[in-house]
Structure 1
Amino acid sequence: MFPRGVAVGMTRRLVHIICLVVLLFAKDIVMVKHGDFKTCQQSGFCVRQSAFADLVDKVPSFGSQYELLPDSLKIDEGKGVVTAHLLDQKQKTPFIFELFLLEHDTARVRIKEAPPIKPRYELLGDLALASSLPASVPIAKVNRTSTGEEIAVHFGVSGKNLLVLHARPFRFELSVNGVPAVSFNDKGYLYYEHSRSKESTPALENQAASAADGNVPVEEGANKDDEITKLQEALNKDLWEETFNGKTDSKPNGPASIGFDVSFPGSSNVYGLPQHASTFSLKTTRGENREYDQPYRLYNLDVFEYILDSPMALYGSIPFMMSHKKGVSSGVFWLNSAEMWIDVEKSKGTGTLSKLASYIPFATSKETSATTTSTHWMAESGVLDVFVFVGSTPNDIFDSFTAITGRPAMPQHFATAYHQCRWNYMDEQDVADVNAGFEKHDIPYDVLWLDIEHTDGKKYFTWDKTKFPNPETMQNNLAGTGRKMVTIIDPHIKRDDGYYVTKEAREKGLFIKDKDGNEFDGWCWPGSSSWIDYTDPAARQYWAEKFQFSEYKGSTPSLYTWNDMNEPSVFTGPETTMPKDALHHGGIEHRDVHNVYGTLLHRSTYEGHLLRSKNEDRPFVLSRAFFAGTQRYGAIWTGDNTAEWGHLAASVPMILSIGVAGVVFSGADVGGFFGNPEPDLLLRWYQVAAFQPFFRAHAHIDTKRREPWLFGEPYTSLIREAIRQRYRIMPYLYTLFWQSTQNGSPIMRPMVSEFPEDENTFGMGDQFMLGKGLLIKPVVQKDQSSVDVYLPKLAVWYDYTSLGKVAPSAAGVLNVKTPLEKIPVLLRGGTILPRRERIRRASNLMLHDPYTLLVALDHKGEATGTIYADDGHSFRFREGKYVLSELSYSSGTLSARGVRLGNDAKLSDADVDALSARVERLIITGLSALPKKVELDGRQLEFTGEKVDGDVYKIVVKDPKAWVGRDWKIHVE
Structure 2
Amino acid sequence: MKSYQKLTADVPQITESGEDDGKPLCHQKLSAWWLGGGLLTVAALLSGVTVWVLGQIWWGQHGTPPLTKCVSIPESLRFDCFPERSTVVTRELCEARGCCFVDGDWPSGSARGVPWCFYPPDFPSYTLGSLNETELGVRGFLTRKAKTYYPRDVVKLQLSVEFETDARLHVKITDATKPRYEVPLDVPPATKRAENPLYTIEFSKEPFGLIVKRKSSGTVLLNTTVAPLFFADQFLQISTVLPSTFIYGLGEHRSNFLHSLEWNTLTFWARDVPPTESFNLYGVHPFYLAMERDGASHGVFLMNSNAMEVVLQPAPALTWRPVGGILDFYIFLGPDPNLVLQQYQQVIGFPAMPPFWGLGFHLCRWGYGTSNETWEIVKAMRNFQIPQAAQWNDIDYMDGYRDFTIDSQKFGTLPQLVEDLHKHGQHYVMILDPGISSTQPPGSYWPYDEGLKRGIFINSTQGKPLIGKVWPGFTAFPDFSNLNTHQWWLENLDRFHSLVPFDGLWIDMNEPSNFVDGSTAGCSQEELDKPPYVPAVLGNSLSAKTICASSRQNASVHYNLHNLYGLMEAKATASALVKIRGKRPFVISRSSFPSQGRYSGHWLGDNRSEWKDMVCSIPGVLSFSLFGIPLVGADICGFSGSTSEELCTRWMQLGAFYPFARNHNTQDVKAQDPSAFSPAARTAMKTALEVRYALLPYLYSLFHRAHLQGDTVARPLFFEFPKDVATYSIDRQFLWGRGLLLTPVLEPGVNSVIGYFPRGLWYDYYTGSSVNSSGENLKIAAPLDHINVHVREGTILPTQKLGGSTSVGSGNALHLIAALSQNANAWGDLYWDDGESLDTFAKGDYSYLVFNVTQNTFTSTVLHSNAGATYVTVDALSVYGVREEPKTVTVNGKERPFTYLTNQVTDRQLGCAASGC
TM bucket by the smaller chain? 0.7 to 0.9
Alignment of 1:319-718 (within 5 A): 319-325=286-292, 326-347=294-315, 373-495=316-438, 496=440, 497=442, 498-548=444-494, 550=495, 552-556=497-501, 558-573=502-517, 574-586=543-555, 588-613=556-581, 616-718=582-684
Provide the rounded CA distance (Å) in 2 between the counterparts of 1:792 and 1:329.
Answer: 19
Alignment of 1:12-91 (within 5 A): 41-42=85-86, 58-70=118-130, 73-76=131-134, 79-91=135-147
Q: Kindly tell me: are residues 643 and 813 of structure 1, through their superposed partners in 2, closer, same or farther at Cα, counting changes over 3 Å?
A: same
Q: Kindly tell me: are residues 486 and 271 of structure 1, through their superposed partners in 2, closer, same or farther at Cα, counting changes over 3 Å?
A: same
Provide the rounded CA distance (Å) in 2 between the counterparts of 1:539 and 1:81.
Answer: 39
Amino acid at match of 1:732: Y
User: Residue 843 in 1 paired to residue 783 in 2?
Assistant: no
Alpha-carbon shift at residue 136 of structure 1 (Å): 3.6
CA deviation digits over 1:801-851, x for unaligned, max 9? 22111255x66111012210123222111110111122x222116643110
Whether the 8 Å contact between 2:165 and 2:193 is mirrored in structure 1 is no
User: Residue 885 in 1 paired to residue 849 in 2?
Assistant: yes
Which residues of structure 2 form unaligned runs of 5+?
1-82, 102-114, 148-153, 518-542
Q: Kindly tell me: are residues 891 and 112 of structure 1, through their superposed partners in 2, closer, same or farther at Cα, counting changes over 3 Å?
A: same
Provide the rounded CA distance (Å) in 2 between the counterparts of 1:730 and 1:579.
Answer: 45
Q: Choose from 193, 211, 215 the match for 1:138.
A: 193
RMSD: 2.3
Q: Kindly tell me: are residues 861 and 658 of structure 1, through their superposed partners in 2, closer, same or farther at Cα, counting changes over 3 Å?
A: same
Provide the rounded CA distance (Å) in 1 between the counterparts of 2:894 and 2:673.
Answer: 49
- Residue 156 of structure 2 aligns with which residue? 94
Provide the rounded CA distance (Å) in 2 between the counterparts of 1:188 and 1:585.
Answer: 37
Q: Kindly tell me: are residues 285 and 299 of structure 1, through their superposed partners in 2, closer, same or farther at Cα, counting changes over 3 Å?
A: farther
Provide the rounded CA distance (Å) in 1 between the counterparts of 2:288 and 2:775.
Answer: 30
- Residue 823 of structure 2 aligns with which residue? 860
Alpha-carbon shift at residue 689 of structure 1 (Å): 1.0
Whether the 8 Å contact between 2:795 and 2:826 is mirrored in structure 1 is yes
Alpha-carbon shift at residue 53 of structure 1 (Å): 8.9
CA deviation digits over 1:826-883, x for unaligned, max 9? 2111110111122x22211664311000010111111111111100000233210111
Amino acid at match of 1:93: V
Amino acid at match of 1:41: R
Alpha-carbon shift at residue 58 of structure 1 (Å): 4.5
User: Residue 182 in 1 paired to residue 221 in 2?
Assistant: yes
Provide the rounded CA distance (Å) in 2 between the counterparts of 1:561 and 1:823.
Answer: 31
Q: Kindly tell me: are residues 552 and 947 of structure 1, through their superposed partners in 2, closer, same or farther at Cα, counting changes over 3 Å?
A: closer
Q: Which moved more, 1:539-548 or 1:696-705?
A: 539-548
User: Residue 925 in 1 paired to residue 880 in 2?
Assistant: yes
Give 3-state SS (helix, strand or coil) of 2:629's partner. Answer: coil
Whether the 8 Å contact between 2:764 and 2:791 is mirrored in structure 1 is yes
Alpha-carbon shift at residue 184 of structure 1 (Å): 4.0
Q: Choose from 757, 779, 793 the match for 2:745.
A: 779
Provide the rounded CA distance (Å) in 2 between the counterparts of 1:58 and 1:859.
Answer: 56
Provide the rounded CA distance (Å) in 1 between the counterparts of 2:653 and 2:166.
Answer: 37
- Residue 245 of structure 2 aligns with which residue? 268
Amino acid at match of 1:590: H
User: Residue 296 in 1 paired to residue 273 in 2?
Assistant: no
Q: Kindly tell me: are residues 425 and 104 of structure 1, through their superposed partners in 2, closer, same or farther at Cα, counting changes over 3 Å?
A: farther
User: Residue 751 in 1 paired to residue 717 in 2?
Assistant: yes
CA deviation digits over 1:616-667, x for unaligned, max 9? 3000011000010100012100000000000000000111111112111110
Provide the rounded CA distance (Å) in 1 between the counterparts of 2:769 and 2:837.
Answer: 40
Provide the rounded CA distance (Å) in 1 between the counterparts of 2:435 and 2:222.
Answer: 43
User: Residue 817 in 1 paired to residue 875 in 2?
Assistant: no
- Residue 108 of structure 2 aligns with which residue? none
User: Residue 167 in 1 paired to residue 205 in 2?
Assistant: yes
Q: Kindly tell me: are residues 115 and 856 of structure 1, through their superposed partners in 2, closer, same or farther at Cα, counting changes over 3 Å?
A: same
Alpha-carbon shift at residue 409 of structure 1 (Å): 0.3
User: Residue 830 in 1 paired to residue 830 in 2?
Assistant: no
Alpha-carbon shift at residue 399 of structure 1 (Å): 0.3
Alpha-carbon shift at residue 125 of structure 1 (Å): 4.4
Give 3-state SS (helix, strand or coil) of 1:802's partner. Answer: coil
Number of equivalent positions: 778
Q: Kindly tell me: are residues 455 and 53 of structure 1, through their superposed partners in 2, closer, same or farther at Cα, counting changes over 3 Å?
A: farther
Provide the rounded CA distance (Å) in 1 between the counterparts of 2:124 and 2:837.
Answer: 56
Alpha-carbon shift at residue 468 of structure 1 (Å): 2.2
Alpha-carbon shift at residue 526 of structure 1 (Å): 0.3
Whether the 8 Å contact between 2:367 and 2:668 is mirrored in structure 1 is no
Provide the rounded CA distance (Å) in 1 between the counterparts of 2:886 and 2:589.
Answer: 52
Alpha-carbon shift at residue 792 of structure 1 (Å): 0.8
Provide the rounded CA distance (Å) in 1 between the counterparts of 2:804 and 2:862.
Answer: 30
Q: Choose from 824, 832, 854 the match for 1:869.
A: 832
Give 3-state SS (helix, strand or coil) of 1:273's partner. Answer: strand
CA deviation digits over 1:916-957, x for unaligned, max 9? 311100000111111112223322222111212424241101
- Residue 801 of structure 1 aligns with which residue? 766
Amino acid at match of 1:100: E
CA deviation digits over 1:355-406, x for unaligned, max 9? xxxxxxxxxxxxxxxxxx3111111111111111112211011101111000
Q: Kindly tell me: are residues 678 and 731 of structure 1, through their superposed partners in 2, closer, same or farther at Cα, counting changes over 3 Å?
A: same
- Residue 29 of structure 1 aligns with which residue? none
Give 3-state SS (helix, strand or coil) of 1:41's partner. Answer: coil
Q: Kindly tell me: are residues 881 and 521 of structure 1, through their superposed partners in 2, closer, same or farther at Cα, counting changes over 3 Å?
A: same
Amino acid at match of 1:578: I
Q: Choose from 235, 241, 252 the match for 1:257.
A: 235
Give 3-state SS (helix, strand or coil) of 1:725's partner. Answer: helix
Alpha-carbon shift at residue 693 of structure 1 (Å): 0.5
Give 3-state SS (helix, strand or coil) of 1:547's partner. Answer: helix
Provide the rounded CA distance (Å) in 1 between the counterparts of 2:563 and 2:482.
Answer: 15
Give 3-state SS (helix, strand or coil) of 2:562's partner. Answer: helix
CA deviation digits over 1:154-174, x for unaligned, max 9? x43xxx322223322222222
Whether the 8 Å contact between 1:471 and 1:554 is mirrored in structure 2 is no
Provide the rounded CA distance (Å) in 2 between the counterparts of 1:611 and 1:276.
Answer: 34
Amino acid at match of 1:94: K
Identity %: 28
Amino acid at match of 1:855: A
Q: Kindly tell me: are residues 609 and 436 of structure 1, through their superposed partners in 2, closer, same or farther at Cα, counting changes over 3 Å?
A: same
CA deviation digits over 1:278-312, x for unaligned, max 9? 000001242xxxxx5xx111111111x333xx231
Q: Which structure has more RCO (C-alpha within 8 Å, separation ≥ 6)?
A: 1
Q: Kindly tell me: are residues 845 and 890 of structure 1, through their superposed partners in 2, closer, same or farther at Cα, counting changes over 3 Å?
A: closer
Q: Kindly tell me: are residues 715 and 389 of structure 1, through their superposed partners in 2, closer, same or farther at Cα, counting changes over 3 Å?
A: same
User: Residue 958 in 1 paired to residue 915 in 2?
Assistant: yes
Alpha-carbon shift at residue 692 of structure 1 (Å): 1.4
Give 3-state SS (helix, strand or coil) of 1:462's partner. Answer: coil
Provide the rounded CA distance (Å) in 1 between the counterparts of 2:837 and 2:356.
Answer: 10
Give 3-state SS (helix, strand or coil) of 1:311's partner. Answer: coil
Provide the rounded CA distance (Å) in 2 between the counterparts of 1:911 and 1:800.
Answer: 28
- Residue 176 of structure 2 aligns with which residue? 114
Q: Kindly tell me: are residues 285 and 537 of structure 1, through their superposed partners in 2, closer, same or farther at Cα, counting changes over 3 Å?
A: farther
Whether the 8 Å contact between 1:122 and 1:382 is mirrored in structure 2 is yes
Whether the 8 Å contact between 2:700 and 2:831 is mirrored in structure 1 is yes
Amino acid at match of 1:743: Q
User: Residue 314 in 1 paired to residue 281 in 2?
Assistant: yes
